[in-house]
Structure 1
């Protein structure tokens, strides 16, 4: 209700196109004093509107800071004139592809066309082999077809299908309708009888003509007649032709199903967004399409929700979509933003799929073109570039790490110009089939095998330095980019052919008390400098921690493949810092072999493709590996590229053999019962600087800890012992060794070796 003195009651209606009268209270005080009018002024409506928006869209606001109490407008007015070109650019920011996804790459197009061809070839072959069965069915059903045909003709000719209606008229005593129906029946019969007689005469003439025709025509006509009668006589519930392919009972992916699944994940951001605005909380940026053997949905998650949040709930999404876990593969697209989700739902469980290696039937291979490694969830081949790269593979035990190494090794040995240095430090013989084509090879977990692998890294370091000098001398026309190419590698006299060093279970090398530190330094040197020189290092480990995998190595490899790991730390050690935070999580895979519901062989591949990709590596069993090795041996023998271990040569070790316990006894006199660790390290470094020299570069506490760690495998413990600094000084208790413990350890070790030899 308006107050009686409200001036709005007496305010006249104003025309928006006429000048507006403003109250005097809206004017500055100076205007009131200078105005001779009755307390109001007339201003233009344009001036009034301009006062509401002091800065037009085309005029930038002044950069001076806002005064206290002044209203600062942060949104531009909505009624400004817009440029049609700007509108067009905004609308066309995301264009749908003209070419379908499966035609964008030659590999995927060939794969799709091959699948279609194989599918229809299977259908044609299946039906062709069952042609006699179908002919028998038609012959068996032809009598029923003849009866149906004759009965149908009789009913049609004499209008017997209308008989029930005429009987109903008789039962109702309705003579008028009966007479009408009778006349209709008589008219139909008069027309249909001649037509039936004509058809019978025609069939008789055709029969006479067939009887006079050759025998082949008679059999053909009989076959056609039986086929027609068989089709007419087919049962409604028993089709003639069997299905060659049973359709999969896979539910089509729709937007409603995707939204239902995402809502069921229990993510707070999605739940809140769906409660506030269920229509626009989850926005699909492209239609859900068929992509390979599955469905693909591209969508934007609600504000504040990232793809990593969804990856953590992959098992719950499997339950929400009612599909096996191996069919659910969400991934992000950080090139757009962290909330862009690409959900791919496959028809088949990836864990149940066995990927066959294309190298199994390859006559040879070129490592400069990469090595076929496995398939992504959509069944597309993934190739790993080898030259100018280094690779790191990690997982829990039994998750397919060695099988992945086998596949890469197969590509190496099938290139007769590539030189393989293979080290299998588990002692299981998984790489033994390749031994006969390797320049250097060892399999074992003993100290001798570890020393051999350490020697290889030392030799590789020297080789990298030699190649760097050799590459520098090549003319620019042969080597314009100062890196090894296929053309340079083929010139065997230059010695710049590809050299691939594989170390499986590398943690046994890098964590070794005697060889680990130096091997880690050599490996880091090779990784940093060897990539352009044709030297490739492939490392595999089942214990990715800072002690077993030096950070200088894990931080510099360019290609990483991580199968199932236990936690975030192991995940980031293999895949790189912040990989887990960015949603690249190998922890989501199930442990165990595929026959027990595990994802063995499946992992995240980073660095080989533009975006991180889930890949299932190809599997080669021992027999298949042996076939590839035999083929590789024949190639190398024909090309004269067998060398080193393959020819039975035993190169001298790059570093002198040594025994830590014996070295300690050599530097600790019999009169010294107990000695500080740091004193022992200093003496060892003086005895063998090439081995123990790096220990002296550590801090004093780190030196003592290094010796403690080195003695653990021998069962020797260190503790607090009393001693004085060499050269005199104040005595103190520090961590040290007891000489008798070293002597006892040597006696026990030599006794075990002696008993083992006698056995």
Structure 2
């Protein structure tokens, strides 16, 4: 009743010799004391009277009920903001319990002005919207930050938050709440560092096979729950700085694909260290490690064939009856029919920037991969690209913008973060920059129809990967689906072995036709060499000519009906010039 909480403020005004403020505070103190005294006296007389009446006149059950109500009221008044009146039994842990006082202390240590201003006025600076509860192997707190403070402000100070909570950095995971305002914070504090916590055994580590059309576990979230991925109908990008587990994650996804004996794998280790060999040498239809000229030519020839296969599949799907293919895409049932040739194709490329930045073939690599990313998923073709330098050159916009699955391990800046996770991810608080150097294999995963999640991928070392690769090979041998590189077959580029595209064009474009539409050229090429050029479209001709320095453009021509029109085509003189430069003979014409 004596207003002791206001005494420090009054003493401060005395020290400042501020008489006006002291008189104002004294009047405030007098008013508080009078009100509290009046309430206390009335409460004492009324309370004692009611208690005496109940004791003398009321039956026993009413006395018990009155006592219970009084105890509940006192308990509710004295309960902390984050705690329910009645708690349930929980398993005791070695980590300290997370309480509202600890959370408020940690938020106050972040140096966020709006929070500090609210707390300086005696308020909490954080409104708990639910009690702090156990959530898996950790504690979960949820609430609203002060007006104007966003979850992003807290995430970018995660190290200070961990210091305020007195917990290791790998235990502290602030997150935004999807479909809520940007000030709604969920704080999950684990009992153990996520990078060192014991994880459940991966179901596929010792046995089992996979159906790529169904979800498969590939990692766990902070709470130790399995996170799944359906590899079909996606195109994926993986980004990270070096030594954070990017290649291991790509190899894990390829091992999953290898355990579906229908899948045809094309694996490219452009780093050249052999990290993908447990998959490539055991089961891959096409495989290469390195970035020498012959490796680049091998990969380019393979991609050209894959683009042709993409077009064949599109025509096959279009020709199927609606009752067999109702959604115009490959299904598990269609993949089971070898005659249709619609089995899954999974392409995995590590250090993909080597392709896209190649001085001669970079443009064609980008064009084909963009086509595979956009149209491949519906036809059963999956492209997975991994890079340690996620920028516009390493991940061209046409690819990064259309990838439906994204894995981002630690990166250093906003640009790299958004290149992998999508535009404005950084502003929304999805920041792979917050991962520490020891968070190897921990990443943000966007895909599988849900918002961004933090996932720790299953760790499969090289010896274990070899064992899984051998098991996948045995599955294929039993099913009769081991082909290509893994079966010892030598890949021969049908487009380049013994054939010269420029010379073939000269053979079908006589001197009397100095300019010719591309559609006419590909039709004549198909007649010349059906096994090489059969199924080519004008776009494929343009892509094949680009490495030779020949571009297609608008040329004048006439239809079969004799009507003139401008369409994309080639000029014979350009072909002659390129042959002359290539052969070092300007008199080739």
The two structures share one fold, judged by TM-score above 0.5: yes
Contact 1:418 1:497 in 2 (8 A): yes
| Equivalent position of 1:438 in the other structure | 284
Aligned partner of 1:370 in structure 2 is: 215
Higher percent of residues as helix: 1
The equivalent position to 1:562 in structure 2, one of 390, 401, 408, is 408
3-state DSSP class of the match of 1:278? Answer: coil
Are the equivalent residues in 1 in contact too, given 2:235–2:383 (CA < 8 A)? yes
Q: Return the match for 2:153 from 309, 315, 336.
A: 309
Give the secondary-structure state (helix, strand or coil) at the position aligned to 1:420.
strand
1:470 is displaced (CA, Å) by 0.3
Distance across 1 between alignment mates of 2:153 and 2:550: 45
- How much does 1:689 deviate? 2.5
Provide the C-alpha distance between the structure 1 equivalents of 2:273 and 2:408, rounded to a whole number of angstroms.
22
The residue number in structure 2 matching 1:395 is: 240
Aligned to 1:427, the other structure's residue is in SS state: coil
- State yes or no: 1:588 paired with 2:469: no
SS at match of 2:274: coil
Distance 2:454 2:494 in 1: 40
**1:235-250 aligned within 5 A:** 248-250=93-95
SS at match of 2:143: strand
Alpha-carbon separation, structure 1, partners of 2:168 and 2:392: 36
Distance of 1:686 and 1:390 partners within structure 2: 24
* Match in the other structure for 1:606: 446
Q: Report whether the alignment pairs 1:508 with 2:345.
A: no
Q: What per-residue deviation string (whole Å, max 9, x for no partner) do you get for residues 647-698 of structure 1?
A: 222222265499xxxxxxxxxxxxxxxxxxxxxxxxxx9998242457788x
Does the 8 A contact of 2:139 with 2:189 survive in 1? yes
In the TM superposition, 1:633-652 aligns within 5 A as 633-652=473-492
1:475 offset after TM fit, Å?
A: 1.4
SS of equivalent residue, structure 2 residue 183: strand
User: What secondary structure, in the 3-state scheme, does the structure 2 residue paired with 1:287 have?
Assistant: strand
Judge conservation of contact 1:357–1:407 (CA < 8 Å) in 2.
no
**Displacement, 1:599?**
0.9
Q: Within 2, Cα distance between the matches of 1:656 and 1:691?
A: 13
Mapped contact 1:391–1:560 kept (Cα < 8 A): yes
Query: 1:626 is matched with which residue: 434, 453, 466?
Result: 466
Q: How does 1:445-484 map to 2 (within 5 A)?
A: 445-484=291-330
| Cα deviation, residue 395, structure 1 | 0.4
Q: Which protein has greater RCO, CA pairs closer than 8 Å, 6+ apart?
A: 2
Query: Alpha-carbon deviation of 1:445?
Result: 2.1
What secondary structure is seen at the aligned counterpart in 2 of 1:382? strand
Distance 1:354 1:694 in 2: 58
The answer for the alignment partner of 2:190 in structure 1 is 346
Cα distance, 1:357 vs structure 2: 3.3
TM-score by length of 2: 0.69
For 1:654 and 1:610, locate their aligned partners in 2 and report how far apart those are by CA, in whole Å: 42
Partner of 2:19: none
Cα pair distance change 1:644/1:388, threshold 3 Å: same
Q: CA shift at 1:384, angstroms?
A: 1.4
1:538 aligned onto 2:384: yes
Q: Give the aligned partner of residue 53 of structure 2.
A: none
- Distance of 1:291 and 1:366 partners within structure 2: 32
User: Out of 365, 368, 377, which is 1:522 matched to?
Assistant: 368
Aligned mates of 1:691, 1:354 — CA distance in 2: 51
What CA deviation, in whole Å up to 9, does each residue of 1:383-441 have, x standing for no partner? 11211111100100110001101110111011111111111111100111122211111
Separation (CA, whole Å) in 1 of partners of 2:198 and 2:254: 19
Q: CA 1:323 to 1:651, structure 2 compared with 1: closer, same or farther past 3 Å?
A: same
Q: 1:450–1:508: 8 Å Cα contact kept in structure 2?
A: no
Structure 2 counterpart SS, 1:603? strand
Q: After superposition, what is the alpha-carbon deviation per residue over 1:209-230, rounded to whole angstroms, capped at 9, x for unaligned?
A: xxxxxxxxxxxxxxxxxxxxxx
Using the TM superposition, give the Cα deviation of residue 362 of structure 1 relative to its aligned residue in structure 2, in angstroms.
2.7
Higher deviation after alignment, 687-696 or 457-466? 687-696
Q: Is the 8 A contact 2:364 2:544 kept in 1?
A: no
Matches within 5 A, 1:99-498: 248-276=93-121, 278-279=123-124, 281-353=125-197, 355=199, 356-434=201-279, 435-498=281-344
Q: Distance in 2 between matches of 1:590 and 1:549?
A: 24
Alignment check: 8 A CA contact 2:408 2:444 kept: yes
CA distance in 2, matches of 1:688, 1:479: 32
Q: 1:654 to 1:304 in 2, by over 3 A?
A: farther
Alpha-carbon separation, structure 2, partners of 1:550 and 1:369 = 29
CA-CA distance at 1:444 after TM superposition: 1.1
**Structure 1 pair 650/399, CA: closer, same or farther in 2 (3 Å)?**
same
State the distance in 1 between where 2:479 and 2:453 align.
37
Gaps of 5+ in 2: 1-89, 499-540, 554-572, 574-580, 585-589
Q: Distance in 1 between matches of 2:458 and 2:212?
A: 17
| Inter-partner Cα distance in structure 1 for 2:297 and 2:366 | 13
Using structure 1 for the length normalisation, give the TM-score: 0.54
C-alpha distance in 2, partners of 1:477/1:686?
37
Q: Deviations over 1:471-504 (max 9, x none)?
A: 1111111111111111111111111111111111
Secondary structure of the residue aligned to 2:268 is: strand
Query: Residue 301 of structure 1 contacts residue 339 of structure 1 at CA under 8 Å; is this kept in 2?
Result: yes
What is the 5 A alignment of 1:717-728? Answer: none
Which structure is larger by alpha-carbon Rg, 1 or 2?
Answer: 1
- 3-state secondary structure, aligned to 1:299: strand
Contact 2:542/2:552, CA 8 A, preserved across alignment = no
Q: Within 2, Cα distance between the matches of 1:523 and 1:387?
A: 17
**Structure 1's 287 and 621: CA in aligned 2 closer, same or farther, altered over 3 A?**
same
